[in-house]
Structure 1
Amino acid sequence: MTDISTNKVDWRALWATGDLARFCFVSLGILLHATNETMVATVMPAMVGELAGVQLVGWSLAIYELGAIVAGAAAGRLVSYVALRSNMMAAALLYGVGALVCATAPSMELFLAGRLIEGLGGGALVSLAYVSVERLFPRSIWPQLFGIMSAIWGVAAFSGPMLGAILTELLSWRWAFGIFTLGGAVMALASFIVLNTPEATRPKATSGKAPPFPFAALGCLAISVVLIASAGVDIALLRSSLLMVVGLIGLFLFFRIDALKPLSRLFPSRLFSWRSPVGAGMTMVAAFSVATCSFGVYGPLLLTSLHGIPILTTGYIIAAESIAWSILSILVANAPPQRERLIIVAGAMMITAGIAGFAYTVPLGSIPLILLCALLQGGGFGIAWPFLTRVIVASAPNSEQTIASAAVPTMQRIGYAVGAALAGIIANASGFSEGLNREAAANVASLLFLAFVPLGVVGCLAALRMSARANRPMPAASHL
């Protein structure tokens, strides 16, 4: 299927065996998850107008990602003793049920409950897609497959804002969620039909018994994210500071507990150690996932409230970011291995430039400049992520490569949840907790992005460190 000398994939052979079709189908779980994830931003102004609760806007993403984290971790464990097909069907049905709850919610609180259920289903679908690549395909074509997955993510992220904006304008924001109810049911049925290979219908366990489920670690993580998110609701100096500090301590304990439980570990060893490509790469994933949440969560609200920019226009801007992600991801997928370092570092710098640029362009209200920042951010992810994922998984010990493949999207989910919670704190502290109006939006617009620039710098440094170690020649006597 792969020409080793040219690092090119024989797509015809993959199609003839049916593996390519199965890969594309499995990746559709990313389509459902990412479309829903990005759609919320464009329906948020209309939804807040009907349900109220602007102070809970940050929770709409944080609670979704929290569910995705728990389910993603569970899926990574369950595939060891429950068939991939069964996992996929259950995840799709759960996703559809959550979408139905969101579509019919009479209040923001019930809507958030639906988002939690949706996150459980969507997170499992994403994790299963990444694990499928590691288990079903040879390592030599991982960059190409991860590149396709990035492209699918970009297409989904493009369709989400557009779908939300169009349905909100023509019908109602509730119809936007109703479509995903049908999508979940259809994917559950299709999973039963399409995933019919032995690898998909039989579990692949490394031992005779199921690995333990990380209840303690995930419980600690859930409490931590909820505490951080709660710090941004009804801002009070002592209360909010205490909740934030305790939440951050909880995150530290989560990673510590995970490291001490090798049989139920969610992340590879030496997770944040910059002495290995895995540690530096996971640091890069975490930093950029936290730092890039602000525009997706609050961008449409700010642009609509501050400059009167229509929802459909904000949908186009977010869609353009996703298009850049998809196109550049495809363009660099076949780049030679010796170019990986340059590509990863260039992507990190583009992302950081986009984050910093939003701090100037969003208050200014210049649509061309805002679009440029969106293209930088999306394009940076597009060129860096396929190679970043390959380096992390390939650099992990053989016994941890399945864990590493599921850890990348899990770390993204953690970053998004924490980033959304922190963005909510900044936005509410700057005036959003008192109501959605132009004055509050003006106070929020610049600070909301500047606060995350230092994390962008951390991501760039991690990219430099990871790519340097990933390209360091191995000693002649070493063996894999």
Structure 2
Amino acid sequence: MSGTAQRVDWRALWRTGDLARFCFVSLGILLHATNETMIATIMPAMVGELSGVELVGWSLAIYELGSIVAGAAAGRLITYVPLRTNMMVAALLYSVGAAVCAMAPSMAWFLVGRLIEGFGGGALVALAFVSVERLFPRAIWPQLFAIMSAIWGVAAFTGPVLGALASELLSWRWAFGLFAFAGIAMATATYLVLKGPAATQASGNSREAPPFPYPALAVLAIGVILIASAGVEIQVVRSSLVLLLGLGGLALFFWVDGLRPRSRLFPSRLFDWRTPLGAGMTMIAVFSVATISFSIYGPLILTSLHGIPVLTTGYVIAAESIAWSVLSILVAGARPGLEKPIIVGGASMIALGIAGFAWAVPAGNIPAIVFCAVLQGGGFGIAWPFVTRVIVTSAGSDERTVASSAVPTMQRIGYAVGAATTGIIANASGFSHGLNPETARGVASWLFLAFIPLGLVGVAAAIRIARHAGTDLMPEGRLVEEPVKGS
């Protein structure tokens, strides 16, 4: 391309059916993201019925673990199991998990349901991301990633509001019941709609399918569970030791993943800041860890400390999602020369949002909280499509499929680690003694102050990758212009 971005003929994509298929495949993101964000606003009612406030962080961490495992499986099963079959099974797993959550008699059973839900939702998201890399020209990847961000944003808007309305008007259990029916509906629609060869035939054969990364995922699960366990019952020596073991488990996971090239979840040179891929993956990892605090504990703190209605907290979280979606669409067609300030500006907005929450949440200042949410969501919205493109296009030609599926996988790992870490911080600050205004006051600031250093690391990573934005990297490291499809 020359100095301007290639124009996308959306009407042509619609006439061929490609756009409709892309939108349908992306509905899995709608189910996954709505459920993921809904948990924040049902948490006060759920904890009141099931108790177990010390396990609040587990509700997201265990969900993300299931998503990671399923995402890894889906990226491999598609080689010899048709897309339609993969999506139907994933939707049914999602439905079963939601049903278990809806009928859970205790927090333990609720966590089992969340794990099953994670399996289904993670597979649906991974299938959507891999479809972009395999089915569509590279020139329109930013636009497709922007649509996916918009879908995620719409889902993230409806999730908190749905959870709040269900909790206030019916019961938090009804929210999960709706998702159980939605999973069945998507499985049925998948069977009826996806009928072409690309959906009903495997993309390869069983000999081509890479082995499943059992050792790496086992180490990852152990690492995240150890981190989460460190915060359940705070004892300085025990908690510190378990936390160190968990962090060591994460490091071991990335090392084990790199030992087996055919089954790896991530491309090589994963965190090497000398490459745009390494800096980009670092940015995704640290911001995913650093921004999960408000989604998990914000409604709990605001309702218990300031008496703010749960529906209001739902609207606050929705504001973050709206900012993500709107800004993502507005910048999707930006010309290459603007991508550098967009990426750095987006990262800076996220970091400022994290720092602002540290003051606004303890103060209970709703306008300031909304502003911080818009900063954080808007920062993700404008930076994410271009960071994702830089990561995928800078990977070697034999690693681009791995790189495309690695982006949501890294987000899932970041959310899981962030949820586990916030559990430690919350319980160490007072939540382990029960939920009341006094403990909420002790937790409110530390949940955000602790992650400001990670926000600064994310900005530094954005500065490193920004110089590569607007160009593609060949495996040899030479900068080249991206050819226009068909030329």
Give the AA of the match of 1:340: E
How far does the alpha carbon of each residue in 1:26-62 deviate from its partner, in whole angstroms, 9 at most, with x for none?
1110000000000000000000000000000000000
> Are the structure 2 counterparts of residues 19 and 473 from structure 1 closer, same or farther at C-alpha, using a change threshold of 3 Å?
closer
> 2:136 corresponds to which residue?
137
Residue 52 of structure 1 corresponds to 51
Taking the aligned partners of 2:157 and 2:478, their CA distance within structure 1 comes to: 46
Counterpart position of 1:354: 353
How many angstroms apart in 2 are the aligned matches of 1:174 and 1:113?
15
Distance 1:242 1:322 in 2: 37
Sort the Cα spacing of 1:207 and 1:394 in 2 relative to 1 into closer, same or farther, 3 A. Answer: farther
Quote how far apart the aligned CAs of 1:4 are.
11
Structure 2 CA distance for aligned equivalents of residues 6 and 334 of structure 1: 7
Distance verdict in 2 for CA 1:425–1:197, change over 3 Å? same
Q: Distance in 2 between matches of 1:4 and 1:86?
A: 42
**Do the aligned residues in 1 keep the contact of 2:3 with 2:335 (CA within 8 Å)?**
no
Normalising to structure 1: TM-score of the pair?
Answer: 0.97
What is aligned with 1:421?
420
Shift of 1:206: 8.0
Residue pair 1:3, 1:10 contacting (<8 A) in 2 also: no
Map Cα deviations across residues 163-205 of structure 1 (whole Å, 9 max, x no partner).
Answer: 0001111100000000000110011111112222222222223
Letter in 2 for 1:247: G
Correspondence for 2:240: 241
Check 1:4–1:97 CA distance in 2 against 1; reply closer, same or farther (3 A cut).
farther
Name whichever of 307-316 and 76-85 sits farther off: 76-85
Residue 457 (structure 2) aligns with: 458
- Give the counterpart letter for 1:452 in structure 2: F
Deviations 1:75-133 (A, max 9, x none): 11111121111111111000000000000001011000000000010011101000011
| Amino acid across the alignment from 2:126 | S
- Relative to structure 1, the CA distance from residue 96 to residue 342 in structure 2 (aligned partners, 3 Å threshold; closer, same or farther) is same
Distance 1:92 1:438, change over 3 A: same
3-state SS of paired residue (1:271): coil
Amino acid at match of 1:259: G
- Taking the TM superposition and a 5 Å limit, the aligned residue runs for 1:70-469 are 70-205=69-204, 208-469=207-468
Distance across 1 between alignment mates of 2:14 and 2:269: 38
Give the drift of 1:469.
3.5
User: Helix, strand or coil for the counterpart of 1:8?
Assistant: coil
TM-score in terms of structure 2 length: 0.96
Report deviation, 1:477: 9.4
Is the 8 Å Cα contact of residues 5 and 334 (structure 2) preserved in structure 1? no
Q: Secondary structure at the match of 1:398?
A: coil
Tell which deviates more after alignment, 141-150 or 6-15: 6-15
Equivalent pairs, count: 479
Comparing 24-33 with 205-214, greater Cα deviation is found at 205-214
Name the SS for the 1:264 alignment partner: coil
Q: Which moved more, 1:384-393 or 1:283-292?
A: 384-393
Measure, in 2, the Cα distance between the counterparts of 1:58 and 1:208. 40
Shift in CA distance, 206/336, structure 1 to aligned 2, threshold 3 Å: farther
AA matched with 2:87: M
State the secondary structure of the residue aligned to 2:211: coil
Structure 2 CA distance for partners of 1:477 and 1:462, relative to 1, 3 Å: closer
Residues 16-27 of structure 1 mapped to structure 2, 5 A cutoff: 16-27=15-26
| Mapped contact 1:278–1:393 kept (Cα < 8 A) | yes
Q: Which runs of 5+ in 1 are unaligned?
A: none
Question: For each residue in 1:416-468, what CA deviation from the matched residue of structure 2 results, as whole angstroms up to 9, or x when unmatched?
Answer: 00000000000000000010000000000001100001000000000110112
* CA-CA distance at 1:65 after TM superposition: 0.4
Secondary structure (helix, strand or coil) at the match of 2:265 reads coil
- Alpha-carbon distance between aligned partners in 2 of 1:301 and 1:239, rounded to the nearest angstrom: 27
Distance in 1 (CA, whole Å) between partners of 2:478 and 2:49 is: 66
Determine helix, strand or coil for the equivalent of 2:26. Answer: helix
The one-letter amino acid paired with 2:149 is S
> What is the aligned-residue identity percentage?
71
Helix, strand or coil: the match of 2:400?
helix
Mean Cα deviation higher: 242-251 or 72-81: 72-81
Residues in 1 aligned to 2:461 and 2:73: alpha-carbon distance in whole angstroms: 28
Q: Alpha-carbon deviation of 1:470? A: 4.0
Q: Which amino acid aligns with 1:143?
A: P
Q: How big is the shift at 1:341? A: 1.2
Supply the RMSD in Å over aligned alpha carbons.
1.8
Distance in 2, matches of 1:324 and 1:470, equals 22
Match of 2:7 in 1: 8
Would you say the 8 A contact 1:359–1:448 is kept in 2? yes
Q: Answer whether contact 2:82 2:202 (CA < 8 A) is retained.
A: yes
2:102 partner amino acid: A
Match of 1:211, SS state, is: coil
Structure 1 residue 5, shift from structure 2 partner? 6.3
| Contact 2:471/2:479 (<8 A) preserved | no
Amino acid at match of 1:203: A
Structure 1 residues 207, 274: CA separation in 2 closer, same or farther (over 3 Å shift)?
farther
Please report how far the alpha carbon of residue 151 of structure 1 lies from its aligned counterpart in structure 2 after TM superposition.
Answer: 0.3
Aligned 8 A contact 1:3 1:9 in 2: no
Going from structure 1 to structure 2, the CA distance change for 1:207 and 1:81 (only over 3 Å counts) comes to closer
Contact 2:390 2:472 in 1 (8 A): no
Amino acid at match of 1:358: F
Residues 136, 199 of structure 1: 8 Å contact kept: no
